[in-house]
Structure 1
Amino acid sequence: MSSLQTTVRPGAGLPDGRRRPRARQRYDRDQLVTAAVFLAPAVVVLGVFVFYPIVAAGQISLTSWNGFDPVKQFVGLENYLRLAQDPEFWNSLLVTVLYAAGVCVLSVVSGLAVALLLDAPLRGLGIYRTIYFLPVVTSSVAAAIVWRYMLDPAGFVNALLAQVGIQGPDWLQDRWLALGALTLLTVWKNIGFNAVLYLTALQSLPHSIYEAAQLDGASGWQQLRHLTVPLLSPMTFFVVVQALITSFQAFDLVYVFTEGGPRGGTEVLGMFMYREAFRLGDFGYGTAIAFVTLFLVLGVTLVQWKLGGAEGGDR
């Protein structure tokens, strides 16, 4: 008799050729105890310094409290309903959205441009990388003060414009110019951080695909557009989320640079929350603003994450 050889395929015997489910990995008691012991300190720290403050702040947002009275008057969702009817809140939200959009776009463009320059074979490259990273380690208060003096009507920027016969405006007294200047200040402050992120991603890209593109006659611009930019999309997503969070949490730069002016033109949500809670003493309302900001950031981040995942699946 001739021997028959039977080939067993994965999923044989199951309908539609599906694979058998893998058995769930089991851990013994000692492993679980060891994991619990190592995780316990982190869980305690997160519980005390993260989760408990969030829960306590959520309770405060449902009260009317001036920050000093030991008794907090429960008002339910009144603070959130008040937000929906407050024109100052909607102005602050609009300012924050415009500010965040500008910061996100310019952070991606400037960070990638600087990273491409720093990835080039230049002499003294370490010095250039240090120079571009200096704004990151510079004090935010000091940077805002210097920029405020530069944009003064008699400051450095208007003096340069006067040299070419242009009369410079009062930058910080026009709401749109002030918002644009604040956006540029934020991008300049974080350009070194974004450049380092992109530079790290650039240096991890495979060189073989660029060699193949060169053999096919692709120009430098075509390689950048069709290879570099798509391959850097995960890092771009991270830079956008980081810039978004930075914009919605902005306070120190705004406080020193413009104090929310002129006429609310740069009053981002952080400044609006500070004014309501610490200047006007309405901590319940201020905490409600903080929670709305938190949910907005989470919502936009989740949308970006879903879109980024869908695009990644299409590729």
Structure 2
Amino acid sequence: MDVWRSMGFYGVLIFARLLDIPDETLESARLDGATDWRLIRHIVLPLSAPVLLSSVVFSINGTLKVFDSVLALTNGGPGSGTTPLTLYMFRSAFSYGDYGYGSTIASLLTVVCLGVTLIIFRFSHRDLTKG
């Protein structure tokens, strides 16, 4: 369900970036003899890297923070098989009344999202500087 819900957002992001690639760049590459595959590999993907990187960051952080669809579809079940950290935080704070533990889980989730984002930026920066 989350894939279908977010597909339009990522599609618009990537499509907008593809429209922003200058026609002169593509035309000059074709005149230099670039095939379709080389055009995509050496021109379109590197120029689209910032948008693709932001899409990956949004997607992973959205996955870490999933709450509403799991609550609505399975309520974390069967058993506790599909209980994400956000649902565990919600239950700890509001079902069991342990607000301190729930806020600790929320703080941990914030740090995890920040850490994942920094790791993605670190690896992508390293890849972009190698080329």
TM-score (norm 2): 0.89
SS at match of 2:115: helix
Q: Which runs of 4+ in 1 moved over 6 A?
A: none
- 2:130 and 2:2 mapped to 1: Cα distance? 34
1:218 counterpart = 2:34? yes
Aligned to 2:59: 243
Aligned to 2:83: 267
Mapping for residues 68-83 of structure 1, pairs under 5 Å: none
Question: What's the CA shift for 1:247?
Answer: 1.5
- 1:217 and 1:313 mapped to 2: Cα distance? 26
Q: Residue type matched to 2:60 in 1?
A: L
Aligned to 1:83: none
Aligned to 1:233: 49
1:294 counterpart = 2:122? no
Question: What's the CA shift for 1:277?
Answer: 1.2
SS at match of 1:232: helix
Q: Which runs of 5+ in 1 are unaligned?
A: 1-184
Aligned to 1:190: 6
Mapping for residues 69-148 of structure 1, pairs under 5 Å: none
User: RMSD in angstroms over aligned alpha carbons?
Assistant: 1.5
- 2:42 and 2:3 mapped to 1: Cα distance? 26
SS at match of 2:56: helix
Aligned to 2:124: 308
**Can you list the C-alpha shifts for 1:106-158, whole angstroms capped at 9, x where unaligned?**
xxxxxxxxxxxxxxxxxxxxxxxxxxxxxxxxxxxxxxxxxxxxxxxxxxxxx
Question: What's the CA shift for 1:282?
Answer: 1.2
Q: Residue type matched to 1:197 in 2?
A: L
Aligned to 2:101: 285
Question: What's the CA shift for 1:244?
Answer: 1.9
SS at match of 1:217: coil
- 1:313 and 1:218 mapped to 2: Cα distance? 23
Q: How many residues align?
A: 131
**Percent same amino acid among aligned pairs?**
37
Question: What's the CA shift for 1:216?
Answer: 3.6
- 1:314 and 1:305 mapped to 2: Cα distance? 14
Would you tell me which structure has more helix in proportion to its own residues?
A: 2
Aligned to 1:252, which of 42, 45, 68? Answer: 68
**Can you list the C-alpha shifts for 1:250-285, whole angstroms capped at 9, x where unaligned?**
111110011111232221111111111111111111
**Can you list the C-alpha shifts for 1:16-55, whole angstroms capped at 9, x where unaligned?**
xxxxxxxxxxxxxxxxxxxxxxxxxxxxxxxxxxxxxxxx
**Can you list the C-alpha shifts for 1:194-215, whole angstroms capped at 9, x where unaligned?**
1111111111112223213322
- 1:218 and 1:313 mapped to 2: Cα distance? 23
Question: What's the CA shift for 1:219?
Answer: 2.9
- 1:272 and 1:226 mapped to 2: Cα distance? 45
